[in-house]
Amino acid sequence: MNRIRLQTLLQMGLTAVLFVGGYFFLRAAYHLAEPMPFTQEIVLVVLGTLATVLITAILLNKQTEVELTKEQNVKFLDLKTTIYLDLLHYLEGLFHQPQITEDDVVRLQFLTHKLAISASPEVLRRFQNLLQIFSASVGDRRLDHRERDDLHDALAELTIAIRHDLIGELDAAGPVSAEEIERRVRANNAATAATYDRYQAT
């Protein structure tokens, strides 16, 4: 993107130099053609045409840069969303398994590398917290009830950061504050944990 911007600035600079040089040339030609009014009109038309071409070129260059930036942002958002969903799907499958395998750990390592490509600093920080809890829980290759609750709490905090990274600007423009959204996410996590506890107690 910086290279494209540099090329655009260079083109605009060269165009400006040519326009200024052409302006002085045509101005001199205009004065030289003063005895011939028809020739002066031709010079004015040429000058107006050059001005139109310059303005059009500047607008088109700016439009192209904006479109390229927008397309890049959309692709980057798609990449983030795909990686985040892969991580959530992996964790969902992990919680359903009776035992943690070596393949699970290896896949988690690769998901960690994928997150490093596009995740926001806050997502990386909360994911690190989840990894620490997970690492402390896999000694016996099983997740007990308390470990699952700790991981779900860490996952709730992670999803808050993911939501902020993906649609934080939309939330900021919406009627519900970011603090209220975080409170609802944590409340939903606590409610599902309580439901699971009641299920286990029956």
Which residue segment(s) compose the domain that 125 sits in? 97-201
184, pLDDT greater than 60: yes
Of 33-42, 105-114, 146-155, 179-188, which gets the smallest average pLDDT?
33-42
Number of domains in the chain: 2
Does residue 150 contact residue 137 with C-beta atoms inside 8 Å?
yes
Whether residues 41 and 101 fall in one domain: no
Whether residues 140 and 184 fall in one domain: yes
Does residue 123 contact residue 115 with C-beta atoms inside 8 Å?
yes
Whether residues 135 and 58 fall in one domain: no
User: Given pLDDT bands bounded at 50, 70 and 90, which one contains residue 15?
Assistant: low
Whether residues 197 and 102 fall in one domain: yes
Q: What is the pLDDT of residues 40-73, one digit of tens each?
A: 566 667 767 777 777 787 777 777 777 878 888 8
Domain boundary among 19, 54, 70: 70
Whether residues 120 and 55 fall in one domain: no
Q: Is the pTM of this model over 0.75?
A: no
145, pLDDT greater than 90: no
Q: d(Cα 26, Cα 187) in Å, to the nearest integer?
A: 74
Whether residues 119 and 64 fall in one domain: no
Whether residues 117 and 187 fall in one domain: yes
User: Which string of DSSP letters, residue by residue, matches 145-199?
Assistant: HHHHHHHHHHHHHHHHHHHHHHHHHHHHHSSS-HHHHHHHHHHHHHHHHHHHHHH
- Mutual orientation of helices 145-173 and 37-96 as an angle, nearest 10°? 160
Specify the residue for token string 């439009």: 63
Of 32-41, 97-106, 110-119, 191-200, which gets the smallest average pLDDT?
32-41
pLDDT of residue 60: 79
Residue 80 lies in a domain: no
Phi/psi zone of residue 144: left (φ > 0), alpha (ψ -120 to 50 degrees), beta? beta
Residue 20 lies in a domain: yes
Choose among 100, 91, 110, 93: nearest CA to 162: 91
Quote the mean pLDDT of the chain.
82
Mean pLDDT of 138-160: 85
Tell me which DSSP letter residue 115 carries: H
